Amino acid sequence: MAAIPDFVSGAMEHWGLVTYRETALLYDRNISSSANQQRVATVIAHELAHMWFGNLVTMKWWNDLWLNEGFASYIEYKGVHHVHPDWQMLDQFLIADLHGVMKLDATLASHPIVQTVENPNQITELFDSITYSKGASVIRMLEDLVGAEKFRLATTNYLNNNIYRNANTNDFLNELEALNFDFDVK
């Protein structure tokens, strides 16, 4: 992991080398606040989640960017919660991501999570809170719908069945459907 001055993104999950904006990685207990500490921990957890969601299994095309960013944005809370349950990250998700994105999602500027991408500008546009926070909120909702155990099984199957390959939204939803619920997951 390397902190890079003036790094354009928050962080980037190259396989084997994760690069960060300085404020997203560097922590000094004498200077940094608790919020800084939690921010650094969640960004690291987000980037490490990308080793599975993004690197081990990569989306087929940019229209399914939410599969990368939604999963990483949800798993970051679970990861930090695992190490620091006292930080109450799962509660913080509601305020930071779910409630936060509702503001944008209630406006005409909102868009579907899965959106057609035909030129490079549309790729940049997709890196917004609909893809990250609404994507994470929908994944959290799916987990609550089918139950944590089956959600974990479907997610594991999705990763194993698409390992070192490309996948899309249907590939993930099909793994949920394969567990045979008495309702249509899609």
Measured CA distances, 38 to 42, 66, 105, 113, 123 (Å)? 6, 23, 26, 27, 29
- Closest contact distance (angstroms) between CB of 42 and Zn ion is 11
Q: Tokens for 38?
A: 């939690």
**Residue 46 or 81 having the CB closest to Zn ion:** 46
- Closest contact distance (angstroms) between CB of 131 and Zn ion is 9
How far apart CA 48 and CA 43 sit, in angstroms, is: 9
**Residue 72 or 146 having the CB closest to Zn ion:** 72
The residue at minimum Cβ distance from Zn ion is 72
- DSSP strand pairing (11-14 vs 57-59): unpaired
Q: Tokens for 158?
A: 């999705």
- In this structure, the number of other CB atoms found within 10 A of the CB of residue 43 comes to 20
**Residue 71 or 146 having the CB closest to Zn ion:** 71
- Closest contact distance (angstroms) between CB of 57 and Zn ion is 14
Q: Annotated binding site for Zn(2+): which residue ranges?
A: 46, 50, 69
**Residue 72 or 142 having the CB closest to Zn ion:** 72
How far apart CA 71 and CA 122 sit, in angstroms, is: 21
How is 21-49 classified by DSSP, letter by letter?
EGGGT---TTT--HHHHHHHHHHHHHHHH
The footprint of Zn ion (CB under 5 A) covers: 69, 72
Among candidate residues 13, 47, 76, 143, the one labeled active-site is: 47
- Closest contact distance (angstroms) between CB of 69 and Zn ion is 5
Assess whether 47 carries a catalytic annotation: yes
Catalytic machinery residues = 47
